[in-house]
């Protein structure tokens, strides 16, 4: 048995039962990583020796008769904007090259407490700004289904790693779709929890009012398991909800009989890929055949979401990224002769073009004289978008929609046109604006064999409900196994 | 020449008396400590950290606002003030901008002539302090600068007055009164030497009677109340000269140079920072829940004005004595504690002892009360003052010390009569004057007795016995 085929829940159960050792699990996964990574390039840091040592420690713990955690021996990858103490954390940016995390993120602490094993840090669009992982300052990551195509972004490395069998669980962050869009592109489950459900402490901030950490998994059950482990109140994050994860996960059990699904008109737009539309509608029909009811509805302010997002997210980013100034950590231009030069040269050389573009956008939007017209107004529109959802959830339990307008695109296809790139998040951004629960679950393959994702959106703390719907779909239409993936990786 | 007046508004930063910083658990006792020993990932702005508001800081801030008669906002918002500087590790300061936690207060100040002046408080907001740059180590200038983040993240309140101040003495009185109220309320220790109270001044000039304000300059780097007064006077003259010579005052920030006794332009309005304030998404709105505020209000200690009133009414002290006693909270506290152990008629003696002892700093109430009791008959008030430093340093009881030193006052009339006789004999002129009815001459005889008795003679008895002796024809 190759344990790379197993889910996180299966690995943990079998390690706890003594059927397999954590060291074997880690060994299998390292064989897989070493096989696919040269073409995949999902990781910016590999932690082979530390992870093997961690795995052996789990085995020792079991041998001593201690109770093992819920993720015993489960190989986990972390997006490289989440801090793992002692390990370099770069945000795939030159400006953080050499920065070693001085502490563990809260999610990392919680994973450690459940005996998870960290295999590496994954690639991302620099500072999580992008939709293809092409904005990584180091290298692009390939889509395991077609290595000529992007894995999506910004959490492309995490999505690709899970899809390619390098680990059954990886963490990402979602500010405007950075978990769901790459999950859809890579054919895995990706969950963006309700804002506040998961602590942001130790996640390098992009846009603080939108960022949420969430899991990539190959099964819906694993997504629920991961969430149960790392969600929940954290006194170090003032925006973290008092809500216990168990409440958010309520409604996970059972079928979809009587589940009310809404299809928002605004998410089925002219110009979207017909195969995506077809596949999403077919998945909704499948849920209907399982007993769900389906109705159309309207989320009228959806059309403003992208514009609003590109005011709020860059504004917050311009402030969040100001601390990377070449003074205390990361890249510092030592040739500089004055303080101003240290700032200008360190930031000028340390940040890539997309990051600079967004810092400039945000700086402008917050400037005196423009604040009311841009940032303040965007916040008001954001309220309207949230109200759309609140209205919808009076009538339905789940909103179903495509995760992305198209299947994964080719490298370079959109890099010359930032706006086209921004629009690939058009369906995912509204949930970040509203702060509600949302996930992407694979719902089919295009004729050319590329994954397509169904987005299931729930109200705040409605994770249990959307996971239940996703699981019903998963049971009725099993996802492709890793081995069935594109020959480019299987070879 | 036309008569001008200044229009002054003051912005005062005070460090709140918390044990820990505003958004992390680091200690606030870093003044004078080894650099960067009171730091953590949060207050050094490491990637990924988040602020968590210190509840105690909010309580102290609320107490300060209540003590200054401010209205507390039901909800206030933390905002980021964005600018680059090496002492600001996040490159933004967490402060409050559009919705501060309190507004519309007032403070009554007492001027030198005893008159009262009310200065309205425009607003008070909460914010974190920056770190400190070091450009030299000892006397050695560095070719680079170092940063010490011990102070970074310390909780401050900024108290912004309305432009109600018209002369530099009023500014001085306002700062003095503000400091007293903040210390009494427990909100701040206001230790000026540790930089726990810092002031910026906005000043403009206009013709007396004019309604419109002139263009103001903001003056920074005022690190003592005297600096504030001097800088305002300098700036008044500078601005009046400009206006008188037909020029225009420009809106700018100026730095006070205490050595040169002058202000110098730091940056013009055009060069002013655009701080790009926006609500901090890492913090939730701060709610002033009514029950919480009511409890804080109820727990507010007695403030200087109320205490002064009590000292004059309840203890019959002069308003001058009450004023001086209350100007140091620990002295006034000690006075009240000690009075609990004494009779009401001892108030004057206690106040006298406290106010006339050089560099008075309180000891515990039981010993203080014992000392006052001793001045009734055992030692003179002057002896008590002399004894005080040793009493404080040794921790001994006043009685023990008096006994050890053999200082007990002599009230034995036989002994006293001998000294009086000797004193009269040794000062024939004064003795003659006294017999001749010049009552004032008694002073030198008393002095001589005191000298003979090494200060131990009971002065009341000595007076009586001299008079007796003179009347008896001695």
Q: For residue B418, what pLDDT band results from cuts at 50, 70 and 90?
A: confident
A343 and B84 within 8 Å at the Cβ level: the answer is yes
Least confident of B244-258, B326-340, B372-386: B372-386
Residue B135 has pLDDT above 70, yes or no: yes
Task: Using pLDDT thresholds of 50, 70 and 90, give the confidence band for residue A157.
Answer: very high
Segment A230-243 mean pLDDT: 94
Q: How confident is the model at residue B356 (pLDDT cuts 50, 70, 90)?
A: confident
Q: Identify the domain boundary among B365, B387, B405.
A: B405
Is the minimum CB–CB distance between A351 and chain B shorter than 8 Å? no
Residues of chain B found within 8 Å of residue A209, distances taken between Cβ atoms: 281
User: Quick one: B76 and B27 in the same domain?
Assistant: yes
Q: State yes or no: is A131 an active-site residue.
A: no
Cα(A43)–Cα(A170) distance, integer angstroms: 11
Residues B358 and B243 in one domain: no
Residues B259 and B375 both lie in one domain: no
Give the list of residues 6+ apart from residue A265 with CB closer than 8 angstroms, or none: A296, A297, A298, A299
Chain B residues closer than 8 Å to A366 by CB: 82, 276-278
Question: For residue range A418-435, what is the model confidence (pLDDT) as tens digits?
Answer: 777 888 889 999 999 999
Report the greatest alpha carbon distance in chain B: 96
Compute φ and ψ for B213, nearest 5 degrees. Answer: -75, 150
**Mean pLDDT confidence for B441-456:** 85
Q: Which of B405, B427, B457 is the C-terminal boundary of a domain?
A: B405
Identify whether residues B464 and B385 lie together within a single domain. no
Please tell me which residue, B114 or B199, carries the higher pLDDT value.
B199
Mean pLDDT for all residues in chain B: 90
Q: How is residue B153 annotated by DSSP?
A: T
Average pLDDT over residues A76-92: 98
Gap between the Cα atoms of A474 and A227, Å rounded? 18
- Domain residue limits at B451: 413-471
Residues B9 and B77 in one domain: yes
Q: How confident is the model at residue A480 (pLDDT cuts 50, 70, 90)?
A: low
Question: Is there a domain that residue A224 lies in?
Answer: yes
The pLDDT confidence band at residue B461, using thresholds 50, 70 and 90, is confident
Phi and psi dihedrals of B37, rounded to 5? -110, 0
DSSP states of A260-319: EEEEEGGGS-TTS-HHHHHHHHHHHHHHHHTT-EEEEE--GGGGGHHHHHHHHHHHHHHH
pLDDT at B397: 82
What whole-number distance in Å separates Cα of residue A444 and Cα of residue A452?
5
CATH number, domain containing residue B423: 1.10.10.410
Whether B119 and B243 share a structural domain: yes
What pLDDT digit, counting tens, does each position of A246-262 carry?
Answer: 887 888 888 999 999 99
Given a contact cutoff of 8 angstroms between Cβ atoms, the answer to whether B310 and B326 are in contact is no
Q: How many domains does chain A have?
A: 1
Number of domains present in the structure of chain B: 3
A33 found inside a domain: yes
CB < 8 Å to A105, chain B: 48
Any domain includes A336: no
Which pLDDT score, from 0 to 100, does residue A479 have? 60
What ipTM describes this predicted complex?
Answer: 0.95
Give me the percent of chain A exceeding a pLDDT of 70.
Answer: 97
For the residues B141-148, what does the mean pLDDT come to?
88
- For the stretch B41-91, pLDDT in tens is 999 999 999 999 999 999 999 999 999 999 999 999 999 999 999 999 999
Of B41, B82, B283, the CB nearest to A238: B283
Q: What is the DSSP letter of A134?
A: T
Question: Does residue A420 lie in a domain region?
Answer: yes
Per-residue confidence (pLDDT) for residue B41, from 0 to 100: 97
Residue B199: band (very low, low, confident or very high) from pLDDT cuts 50, 70, 90: very high
Q: Which residue of B has its CA nearest to A363?
A: B276
Hey, are the CB atoms on A323 and B48 less than 8 Å from each other? no
The neighbour count for residue B206, using CB atoms within 10 Å, is 18
**B interface toward A at CB cutoff 8 Å?**
41, 44-53, 80, 82, 84, 86, 89-92, 147, 274, 276-278, 281-284
pLDDT value at A487 more than 60: no
Q: What's the start-to-end Cα distance of chain A, in Å?
A: 19
Which residues form the domain of A443?
3-266+277-298+387-490
């Amino acid at each position: 048995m190759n344990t790379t085929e197993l889910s996180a829940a299966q690995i943990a159960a079998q390690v706890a039962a003594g059927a397999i050792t954590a060291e074997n699990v880690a060994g299998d996964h390292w064989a897989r990583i070493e096989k696919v990574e040269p073409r995949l390039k999902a990781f910016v840091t590999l932690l082979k020796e530390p992870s093997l040592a961690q795995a052996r420690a789990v085995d020792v713990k079991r041998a001593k008769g201690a109770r093992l955690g819920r993720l015993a021996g489960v190989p986990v990858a972390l997006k490289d904007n989440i801090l793992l103490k002692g390990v370099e954390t770069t945000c795939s940016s030159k400006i953080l090259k050499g920065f070693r995390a001085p502490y563990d993120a809260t999610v990392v602490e919680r994973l450690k407490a459940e005996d998870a094993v960290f295999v590496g840090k994954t690639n991302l669009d620099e500072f999580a700004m992008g939709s293809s992982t092409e904005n990584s300052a180091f290298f692009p990551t390939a889509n395991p289904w077609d290595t000529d195509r992007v894995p999506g972004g910004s959490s492309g490395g995490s999505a690709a790693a899970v899809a390619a069998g390098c680990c059954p669980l990886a963490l990402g962050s979602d500010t405007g779709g950075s978990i769901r869009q790459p999950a859809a592109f890579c054919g895995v489950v990706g969950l963006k929890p309700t804002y506040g459900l998961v602590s942001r402490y130790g996640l390098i901030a992009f846009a603080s009012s939108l960022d949420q950490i969430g899991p990539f998994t190959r099964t819906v059950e694993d997504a629920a398991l991961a969430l149960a482990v790392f969600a929940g109140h954290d006194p170090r994050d003032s925006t973290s909800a008092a809500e216990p994860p168990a409440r958010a996960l309520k409604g996970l059990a059972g079928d979809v009989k009587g589940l009310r699904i809404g299809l928002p008109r605004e998410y089925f737009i002219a110009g979207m890929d017909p195969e995506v539309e077809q596949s999403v509608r077919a998945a909704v029909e499948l849920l209907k055949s399982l007993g769900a009811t389906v109705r159309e509805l309207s989320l009228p302010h959806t059309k403003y979401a992208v514009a609003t997002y590109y005011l709020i997210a860059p504004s917050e980013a311009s402030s969040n990224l100001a601390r990377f100034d070449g003074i205390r950590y990361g890249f510092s231009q030592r040739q500089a002769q004055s303080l101003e030069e240290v700032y200008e040269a360190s930031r000028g050389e340390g940040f890539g073009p997309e990051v600079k573009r967004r810092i400039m956008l945000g700086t402008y939007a917050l400037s005196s004289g423009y604040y009311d017209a841009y940032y303040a107004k965007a916040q008001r529109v954001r309220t309207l978008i949230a109200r759309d959802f609140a209205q919808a959830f009076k009538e339905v339990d789940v909103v179903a929609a495509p995760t992305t307008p198209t299947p994964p695109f080719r490298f370079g296809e959109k890099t010359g046109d930032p706006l086209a790139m921004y629009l690939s998040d058009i369906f995912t951004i509204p949930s970040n604006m509203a702060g509600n629960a949302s996930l992407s679950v694979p719902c089919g393959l295009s004729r050319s064999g590329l994954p397509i994702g169904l987005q299931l959106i729930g109200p705040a703390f409605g994770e249990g409900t959307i996971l239940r719907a996703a699981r019903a779909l998963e049971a009725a239409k099993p996802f492709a196994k890793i081995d069935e993936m594109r020959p480019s990786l299987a070879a | 020449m036309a008569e001008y007046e200044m229009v002054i508004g003051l912005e005062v930063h005070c460090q709140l008396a918390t044990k820990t910083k505003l958004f992390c658990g680091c200690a606030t006792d870093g003044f004078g400590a080894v650099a960067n020993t009171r730091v953590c990932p949060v207050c050094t702005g490491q990637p990924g950290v988040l602020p968590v508001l210190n509840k105690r800081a909010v309580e102290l801030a609320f107490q300060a606002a209540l003590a200054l008669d401010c209205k507390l906002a039901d909800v206030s918002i933390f905002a980021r003030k964005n600018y680059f500087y090496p002492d600001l590790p996040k490159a933004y300061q967490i402060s409050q901008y559009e919705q501060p936690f309190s507004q519309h207060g007032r403070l009554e100040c007492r001027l030198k002539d005893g008159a009262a002046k009310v200065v309205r408080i425009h607003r008070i907001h909460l914010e974190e302090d920056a770190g400190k740059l070091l450009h030299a180590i000892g006397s050695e200038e560095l070719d680079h600068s170092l940063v010490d983040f011990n102070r970074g993240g310390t909780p401050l309140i900024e108290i912004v007055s309305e432009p109600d101040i018209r002369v530099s003495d009023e500014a001085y009185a306002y700062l003095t009164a503000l400091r007293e109220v903040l210390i009494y309320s427990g909100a701040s220790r206001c230790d000026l030497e540790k930089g726990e109270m810092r002031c910026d001044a906005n000043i403009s000039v206009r013709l007396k009677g004019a309604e419109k304000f002139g263009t103001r300059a903001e003056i920074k780097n005022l690190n003592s109340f005297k600096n504030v007064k001097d800088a305002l006077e300098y700036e008044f003259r500078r601005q009046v000269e400009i206006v008188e010579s037909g020029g225009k005052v420009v809106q700018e920030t100026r730095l006070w140079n205490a050595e040169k006794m002058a202000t110098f332009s730091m940056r013009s309005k055009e060069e002013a920072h655009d701080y790009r304030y926006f609500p901090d998404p890492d913090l939730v709105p701060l709610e002033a829940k009514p029950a919480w505020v009511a409890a804080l209000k109820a727990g507010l200690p007695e403030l200087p004005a109320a205490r002064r009133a009590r000292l004059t009414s309840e203890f019959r002290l002069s308003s001058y004595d009450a004023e001086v006693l209350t100007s140091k909270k620990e002295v006034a506290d000690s006075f009240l504690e000690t009075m609990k152990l004494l009779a009401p008629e001892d108030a004057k003696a206690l106040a006298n002892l406290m106010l006339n002892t050089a560099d008075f700093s309180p000891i515990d109430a039981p010993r203080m009360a014992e000392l006052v009791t001793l001045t009734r008959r055992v030692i003179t008030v002057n002896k008590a003052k002399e004894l005080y430093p040793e009493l404080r340093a040794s921790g001994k009881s006043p009685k023990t010390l008096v006994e050890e030193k053999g200082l007990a006052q002599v009230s034995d009339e036989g002994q006293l009569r001998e000294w009086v006789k000797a004193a009269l004999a040794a000062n024939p002129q004064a003795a003659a004057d006294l017999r001749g009815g010049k009552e004032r001459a008694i002073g030198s005889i008393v002095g001589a007795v005191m000298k003979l008795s090494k200060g131990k003679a009971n002065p009341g008895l000595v007076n009586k016995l001299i008079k007796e002796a003179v009347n008896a024809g001695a």
